[in-house]
Amino acid sequence: MMQAVRGDRAVGIFVSGQRWKVLAGCVVALVLMAALPGVGHAQEFGLKNLQGKVFNGDDQPISGAIVYLKNSRNNDVKTFLSDKDGSYRFAGLSADTDYSVWAAYHAKKSGTKTVSSFDSRKQVYIDFKIK
């Protein structure tokens, strides 16, 4: 250990080799702990999926209903024709965008629902009823 002289006594200004390694390890651990929550948050923020089913007034699935998905940022509208079991799906939706979604079949329309950017779920389920 190196020492500096201050007045009439010696003062240690460097840490011994073993202490230096422990101190360096603690600093590295703190830096990693500070960085990891940001990385985890960035992974959560990204894409989400929307899926559900379209039903008639008698709770029977509707095949061939048009499900509309409107992006609130650019007003882009995507559509999906429901499958035999009434199911639909939209994948890869931006998690930081709000969407309006509704279904229509034979000139009848369901209510409009919102997929919010504040909804942190990766998988969102919304069913529609067309009466």
Record the pTM.
0.66
Q: Are 62 and 34 in a shared domain?
A: no
pLDDT for 69 equals: 98
Question: How far is 68 from 95, CA to CA, in rounded Å?
Answer: 18
All residues at 6 or more sequence positions from 98 whose CB lies less than 8 Å from its CB, including other chains: 72, 73, 114, 115, 116, 117
Q: Are 30 and 80 in a shared domain?
A: no
Closest by CA to 76, choosing from 54, 88, 53, 93, is 93
Range of the domain at 84: 47-130
Question: How far is 44 from 40, CA to CA, in rounded Å?
Answer: 6
pLDDT for 13 equals: 52
Question: How far is 69 from 90, CA to CA, in rounded Å?
Answer: 8
Q: Are 61 and 116 in a shared domain?
A: yes
Question: In the chain, which stretches have pLDDT less than 50?
Answer: 1, 15, 38-44
pLDDT for 46 equals: 85
Q: Are 70 and 114 in a shared domain?
A: yes
pLDDT for 35 equals: 54
Q: Are 89 and 58 in a shared domain?
A: yes
Q: Are 110 and 82 in a shared domain?
A: yes
